[in-house]
Structure 1
Amino acid sequence: MPELGHLCGYVELPSKHPYYGSDYEDIPVDVHGGLTYAMQNEEYWEIGFDCAHLGDIIPGLIDHISALPNEHYWTIQDVEHELYKLVDQLDRLQPRKIKLENTNGIEH
């Protein structure tokens, strides 16, 4: 198999994250092509996605397949943007501790 040359994006989840140890298919996030990777990495759970899907330009396959219309090569900036999106979604999946202050005599 030739070196494909496509980019991937990964983030590390700490052990306290609710999706630590989860299969990537069970994590409800929206990233390019969906999550395609999850594995233990030292003390973190690493999850990620790749940029080798239908419609993506894959440098290692350019000589082997015909170009499709509207193909896109995912640059480092594209992947960084997708990673920021992923981190934001993962942050929102964490439970929040909200302390309600009783200012009007009503129990919360």
Structure 2
Amino acid sequence: MAEISLGQQDAGGTRSARPGDLVRIHLEETPASGFRWQVEEFDQNVLEPAGDRFLPPPGVERGGRGRRELRFSVVGAGRGRVRLTLRRPWQGVEAAARRYETTIEAAPGS
């Protein structure tokens, strides 16, 4: 199993993977503003959500800027797109402050 780490610089790109790999997407977020990264779309034939957590900077407990880590397990071969939006949970997708999209190209396992 390989771990694939993606960030803002990888938006719009395609990464290679294999079933069993773990994809970690790290994006900047300030939860106190009410805006949080939300999963809007992913290909269930290729990816499965594997967790979501906020990582504050060292020494900061609450209220500050940090990173949201969204994890996906690669569960099948194929081309799977992930779409995320930075928005307030009570507002619709059209109110998103930012968007993130990446594609995972999963080759058949060995």
**Fold-level match, TM-score > 0.5?**
no
TM-score by length of 2: 0.35
TM-score by length of 1: 0.36
Structure with the larger strand share:
2
> Higher relative contact order at CA 8 Å, sep ≥6: structure 1 or structure 2?
2
Structure with the larger helix share:
1
Which has the larger Rg?
1
